[in-house]
Amino acid sequence: VKVTREQAAENRQKLVRAAGRLIRERGIDGVGVAEICAQAGLTHGALYAQFGSKDALVAEALEDGLRRGEARVADNATRRTPTLDDYLAYYLSEKRRDDLGGGCPMAASASEIARQGEMVSARFGEGFESMVETIEAVLTVPNPQTDKRQIAIAISAAMIGGLAIARGVAKSQPSFSAEILASVADVVRDLGKANNRSRAGRKKDKPARRE
């Protein structure tokens, strides 16, 4: 049953979106081609006509998720230039932590990428590089000699790691999970504004810990 070129392109996109969402929710190994295709309203044969293999679909779904994430960040701040605080409030919120299917593909799959092929690894690397550049651009460290790129890499790692860990403990220790989100955001915020004043003495926003 041949379909129009537009319909074919639409079907391809449906597959990519369904794959992205399901992979973020259940992991690359945790979701099968049958379910992805069913959610896209197609049979599995369509997947092989479009992508040739599950691996290729995974790589494209990862790329699409990253691209959409960037677009979402850009949209959220059309009126003014977004700040590091904006990113932190958005990325490290409890709402976002609990929305596995809608979130950042890197936080959702970080530890699974090392076991995938080079195609997936490459898309992941491009996504991380893009995040680092975005973070680097909003750092307000005063001295131009400061290595903003290094700081942006560490901040990105802390954000991705923090979100993944907060998700991991959410089921058993919800308030510890909230403490992790708040602590990472707080320390990163400070790191992004690193200046001549001492960090010492700061004690704002400490989340309560009651487990």
Partner DNA sequence: TGTACATCAGTGAACGCGCGTTCACTGATGTAC
Q: Which residues bind DNA (CB under 7 A)?
A: 1-8, 11-12, 31-35, 37, 42-50, 52-55
First-to-last alpha carbon distance for the chain, in angstroms, is: 58
**Shortest distance in whole angstroms from residue 164 CB to DNA:** 22
Binding of residue 154 to a second copy (CB under 8 A): yes
Which H or E run includes 192? helix 174-192
Q: Which residues contact 41 (CB under 8 A, 6 or more apart)?
A: 14
Binding partner selected for residue 50 from a second copy, DNA, none, CB under the kind-specific 5 to 8 Å limit: DNA
Binding partner selected for residue 107 from a second copy, DNA, none, CB under the kind-specific 5 to 8 Å limit: a second copy
- Of 83-102, which residues contact a second copy (CB under 8 A)? 100
**Of 4 and 143, CB closest to DNA:** 4
- Of 22-51, which residues contact a second copy (CB under 8 A)? 25-27, 29-30
Among residues 177, 176, 21, which one has the least CA distance to residue 97? 177
Residues 22 and 31: beta-carbon distance below 8 Å = yes
Burial class (CB in 10 A: 0-12, 13-18, 19+), 207: middle
**Shortest distance in whole angstroms from residue 108 CB to a second copy:** 6
**Of 23 and 47, CB closest to a second copy:** 23
Using CB under 8 A, which of 80, 118, 208, 210 touches a second copy? 118
**Shortest distance in whole angstroms from residue 38 CB to a second copy:** 19
Instruction: List phi, psi (to 5°) of 193.
Output: -110, 15
**Shortest distance in whole angstroms from residue 196 CB to a second copy:** 5
How many residues belong to the site for a second copy (CB under 8 A)?
A: 70
Distance CA 197, CA 128 (A): 31
| Residues near a second copy, by CB under 8 A | 25-27, 29-30, 100, 106-115, 117-118, 121-122, 124-125, 128-129, 141-143, 145-147, 149-151, 153-154, 156-162, 164-165, 167-173, 176, 179-180, 183-184, 186-188, 191, 194-196, 198-203, 206
